[in-house]
């Protein structure tokens, strides 16, 4: 007879706390290794990445119409070149390692989830990745106009010039792109909460004004500069995505109501499919 715990489960099937901690340690070590490898790769590719972003900044400065000689990047300490390259390569490495790190996170939490709980997460995962890259691409498209708008105010202060540390504008762009990628996860969160029944489409539609205020507040928090332009750049598409997610939640909950009202309709469909399959086999 199997030895069972107080919960009725065989003791050999229950992972002990030490085993959980060892699994967590192994996952953390692997994640750190992936980040370290990405950091090393980022050290060698940071120059072309920096040049790409810097060209966007120069394009925006050119569009602003100011004299290009009024904009210069200067180092004011002999260690700043090395520190900036370390920062830039780490950010690149973090981005490169993120899919592998998320795979380690999923590998740690998935054994504790039921199959019914895994299914929605597996469906939302590709949508989440797609929305992240959609947010990054949208920000990439808006960056030259944003830089041009900011730098254009230099004309309001005659006799001045813009001198800043190299990479400060590039790091601002990278942070802004990551902020857009994270902000575009809002529909996934809303849809996920609606799918598990914590939010209803009726509630979202009734309090849409509160939702809009939340979207603008979230945009103000996520944008690194907290200025009105970048906040609007994020808030407007997020508001559209929020409305789309409300529509998606309404569809999901409509299906749930259909299941509650007629719980046998799934079985009927499956039986019908089975009978059709049997008829096809008989005909063949």
Contacts of 68 (CB under 8 A, 6+ apart): 58, 61, 62
Please state the rounded mean pLDDT for residues 213-233.
79
> By mean pLDDT, which of 5-9, 35-39, 104-108, 145-149 is the weakest?
5-9
Query: What pTM was computed for the model?
Result: 0.70
- Whether the pLDDT of residue 195 is over 80: the answer is no
- Percent pLDDT > 90 in the chain is 10
The string of pLDDT tens digits covering residues 233-261 is 888 888 888 888 888 777 777 766 555 55
232 and 212 in contact (C-beta within 8 Å)? no
* d(C-alpha 277, C-alpha 266), whole Å: 16
Q: Which of 86-90, 177-181, 184-188 has the highest mean pLDDT?
A: 86-90
Which residue is associated with the tokens 């030895």?
Answer: 3
Sign, CA dihedral 270-275-280-284, equals positive
Q: Could you tell me which of 40, 167, 159, 31 has the C-alpha nearest to residue 100?
A: 31
Most confident of 110-124, 162-176, 186-200: 162-176
- The residue among 271 and 91 whose pLDDT is bigger is 91
> Mean pLDDT throughout 154-178?
84
Q: Are 75 and 166 in contact (CB under 8 A)?
A: yes
Q: In whole angstroms, give the CA distance from residue 137 to residue 132.
A: 9
**Burial annotation 183-220 (CB, 10 A radius, 16+ → b, else e):** bbbbbbebbbebbeeebebeebeeeeeebeeebbebbe
The pLDDT of residue 89: 93
Phi/psi of residue 4, each to 5°? -120, 150
State the chain's maximal CA–CA distance in angstroms: 90
* Token pair for 131: 């929305």
226 pLDDT band (50/70/90 cuts)? low
Count CA atoms within 13 Å of residue 26 on its CB side: 8
d(CA 121, CA 105): 13
Average the pLDDT over 136-147 and give the result: 86
Give yes or no for residue 43 having a pLDDT over 90. Answer: yes
165 band by pLDDT with thresholds 50, 70 and 90: confident
Distance of CA 211 to the CA centre of its chain: 19
Query: Confidence class of residue 225 from pLDDT cuts 50, 70 and 90?
Result: low
Angle at the Cα of 140 from the Cα atoms of 84 and 189, rounded to 5 degrees: 100
Question: Is the pLDDT score of 119 beyond 70?
Answer: yes
Is the pLDDT confidence value at 114 over 80? no
Assigned token pair, 238? 């997020």
Give yes or no for a contact between 74 and 166, defined as CB atoms under 8 angstroms apart.
yes
Instruction: Give 137 or 278, the one with higher predicted confidence.
Output: 137
Instruction: Measure CA 146 to chain center.
Output: 22
CA dihedral 44, 49, 50, 54 (to 10 degrees): 160
Residue in this structure with the two tokens 């953390």, named with its chain if needed: 28
- 10-14, 85-89, 182-186, 220-224 — most confident range: 85-89
Confidence class for position 90, pLDDT limits 50, 70, 90: very high
Question: Which run of H or of E encompasses 168?
Answer: helix 168-183
Query: Higher confidence at residue 216 or residue 194?
Result: 216
Residue 49 has pLDDT above 60, yes or no: yes
Q: Which of 135, 230, 130 is nearest to 183 (CA)?
A: 135
């Amino acid at each position: 007879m199997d030895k069972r715990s107080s919960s009725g489960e065989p003791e050999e099937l229950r992972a002990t706390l030490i085993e959980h901690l060892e699994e967590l340690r192994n996952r953390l070590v692997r994640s750190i290794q992936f980040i370290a490898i990405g950091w090393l790769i980022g050290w060698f590719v940071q120059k072309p990445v920096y040049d790409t972003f810097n060209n966007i900044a120069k394009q925006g400065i050119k569009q602003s119409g100011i004299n290009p000689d009024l904009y210069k990047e200067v180092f004011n300490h002999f260690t700043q070149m090395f520190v900036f390259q370390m920062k830039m390569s780490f950010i690149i490495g973090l981005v490169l390692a993120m899919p592998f790190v998320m795979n380690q996170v999923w590998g740690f939490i998935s054994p504790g989830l039921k199959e019914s709980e895994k299914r929605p997460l597996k469906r939302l995962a590709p949508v989440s990745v797609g929305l992240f890259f959609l947010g990054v691409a949208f920000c990439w498209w808006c960056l030259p106009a944003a830089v041009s708008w900011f730098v254009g105010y230099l004309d309001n202060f005659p006799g001045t010039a813009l001198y800043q540390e190299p990479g400060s504008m590039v790091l601002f762009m990278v942070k802004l792109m990551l902020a857009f990628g994270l902000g575009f996860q809002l529909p996934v969160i809303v849809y996920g909460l609606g799918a598990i029944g914590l939010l209803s489409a009726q509630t979202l539609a009734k309090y849409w004004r509160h939702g809009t205020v939340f979207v603008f507040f979230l945009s103000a928090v996520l944008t690194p500069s907290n200025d009105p332009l970048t906040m609007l750049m994020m808030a407007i598409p997020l508001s559209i995505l929020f409305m789309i997610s409300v529509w998606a939640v309404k569809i999901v909950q409509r299906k749930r109501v259909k299941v509650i009202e007629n719980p046998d309709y799934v079985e009927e469909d499956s039986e019908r499919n089975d009978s059709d399959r049997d008829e096809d086999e008989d005909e063949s």
